Amino acid sequence: MPGRSLAGVRLGETAAGVRAALGHRYGVCQGCVRTTWYFTYRPFEQQGLGVELAAGQVAAVYTLWQPEGWRAPNGLQLGAVQSQVTQLAGTLIPVACTGYEALVSDAHAVRTAYYVVDGKLWGFGLLRPRETPCR
């Protein structure tokens, strides 16, 4: 749910809680600033979910690439055109990232990010308030 969870993972959730929800089959980013786990559909596949941990708790969670079939409770699904994002998600703040744009909303002590590439919704993310959505 936007502002609450992504793939059942919530900000502040423990690493053990993430493993309980998503399993133990994940890759670990070798060059990331934070401990980052990649839950992909198959080993070495790009589509899936990224989970960043700080002090053993979820600090950010976001889709990787554009996993097929993902949607928000409001009906917004990956691949939607940018005008649908702004229509269904409400007032969003644009943030320019290298190669893409993040449209963000701050509510419920969470920053919700809608990642847009070439005018289409590419991914979803949840971050700590005021944290940059650029990954």
Higher pLDDT: 67 or 110? It is: 110
Question: Quick check: is 67 in a domain?
Answer: yes
Question: Quick check: is 88 in a domain?
Answer: yes
Give the tokens for residue 57.
């708790």
Question: Quick check: is 112 in a domain?
Answer: yes
| pLDDT number for residue 66 | 86
Question: Quick check: is 3 in a domain?
Answer: no
Averaged confidence pLDDT in the chain? 92
CB 77 within 8 A of CB 103: no
Which one, of 20, 15, 89, 86, lies nearest residue 52 by Cα? 15
Question: Quick check: is 5 in a domain?
Answer: no
What would the DSSP string read from start to end of 62-76? EEES--TT-B-TTS-
Q: How many CB atoms lie under 10 A from the CB of residue 71?
A: 13
Number of separate domains in the chain: 1
pTM of the model: 0.90
CATH number, domain at 97? 3.40.33.10
CA angle 15, 105, 45 (to 5 degrees): 45
Question: Quick check: is 40 in a domain?
Answer: yes
CA atoms within 13 A on the CB side of 34: 17
What is the mean pLDDT of the segment spanning 45-51? 92
What is the mean pLDDT of the segment spanning 83-105? 95
pLDDT band at 28 (very low <50, low <70, confident <90, very high): very high
Give the tokens for residue 85.
């994002």
